Structure 1
Amino acid sequence: MSDGTLHLPAAASLRRPLVLGPGARRAMILALLAAGWELYARWLGNSLLLPTFLETLGALWSETLNGELPERVWASLEVLLTGYAIGIVLAAAITALAVLNRWGESLLSLLTSMFNPLPAIALLPIALLWFGIGSSSLVFVIVHAVLWPLALACHAGFRAVPPTLRMAGRNIGLSGPSYVFALLVPAALPSILSGLRLGWAFAWRTLIAAEMVFGASARSGGLGWFIFTNRAQLETANVFAGLLTVILIGLAVETLVFATLNRVTVRRWGQES
């Protein structure tokens, strides 16, 4: 009986399920997706329709070494960051005006109702007429893609701030910009980060789609132009290498930027469990 009692904890520890961290779980899921891609492509046996995962990695490595892919990626990111930054500034200005003034709130409500349902890529012909073929047209459609969802998310977060917290801010003398940036922004940070994530995703896919339509030029086109030209040349492995690059950049931004911001602000401040 004493022997059984002594061995029970050891037996229970052996039956305890293995708990993996979020990073390990994501890595395993990615490995399974890559293995499924490889197996299905080998079973299909047609590289023109679907190259294997290893062939795609080979094309990615080759285009990286010859400098073609890094040049296209940099061209896209340069345009993307410019439009994203402008969109953030405009969204902050419009949302702050909406918080401080009833006319500003009506303006934000009207503009988002008008322009948020409008796909950014639908403005591409107008951008071409106004700015011509070049990065300015791409920046214009990216600003549209970022501005409205971010403004809506920020405004929803501001409206969710408890009235008692608002009154406390007024009582200690906060008003105008100090009221917005010292009280409302920290309190609404979870919604703001969600809006930034959403704006980034909209901007990234809008940019790739716009570049696939017209690029900037054959010399300075970005990642979407790389995908388009390789599709026209039936270089399917390079097409998938470009698509994989889009995915990898999205994962990197989500993991290194937004997840880090969420961890050092929202979670640290106890605004999210």
Structure 2
Amino acid sequence: MSTTSNPVSLNQIRIVMVNTTLPANIGAALRAMKTMGLQHLVLVNPKTFPHPDIDALAAGASDLIAQIKVVDTLEQAIADCHLVFGTSARSRTIPWPLLDVRPAAQEIIQASQKQQNIAVLFGREDRGLTNEELALANYHLTIPVNPDYGVLNVAQAIQVVCYELRMAALTDLPAIQSETMPLVQNQSMQWDEPLVTQHQMQQFYPHLEQTLIDIDFLDEKNPRLLPLRLRRLFGRIQLDRMEYHLLRGVFTRVQALAKGTWHPPKQKNTHGEQSDV
């Protein structure tokens, strides 16, 4: 088994386990993470924690147990993240940007080189992540397993993902010194504003949806898939801070116009006097 120095780009990545039932899976996940050089594990409302099975299965990775962060909701787990990947099978109610684990790992490492915080989400042992939880991700990540037997234990899936992350980190990917934004034709450009976090986007989406309700574009009682598709759209774009505030300002203006509460500012004439014209 070969070893090498641990890539610093892995420090920006956290593994998030949602509603884990078996403590042994948490311990096995820690062992898988440490083997590949990752150290940040967040547990969302685990069924049992702490537990002796975690210590037993961690086997040499017990130092990571003290670093585990436990939160009540997935939103809390990813609040300061700029990029979120949700592990998923291919069949879902609504198509979402989906990457196999290897190209996904390359995207994650490139983002980590720009000092972005990245989360990779893993769901429950019996049913994975819900559609609502997957909607919080920018991209879905899938492992190309045997189609006749696509069964992976959650700790095994974490091992595969962590391995691919390590391999991508050890590959000579071009280090990115400043913010870049991906373009349609696999190009990139320099970017002058930081990307917004998931916490900010969780304020953005309700504002957008309420605006559409206010202008009678969205039926609050029967929204269908429109809110989910809008989340997919903006999650794929990854807004920067300026774009975020610009759009929130537009939403506020549209809401005021719809309610009849906005009036154009009075203009000053050549004599410095205010005019309604």
Which structure ranks higher in relative contact order (CA pairs < 8 Å, sequence separation ≥ 6)? Answer: 1
The structure in which a higher percent of residues are strand is 2
Specify the TM-score bucket, using the shorter chain as the normaliser.
Answer: under 0.3
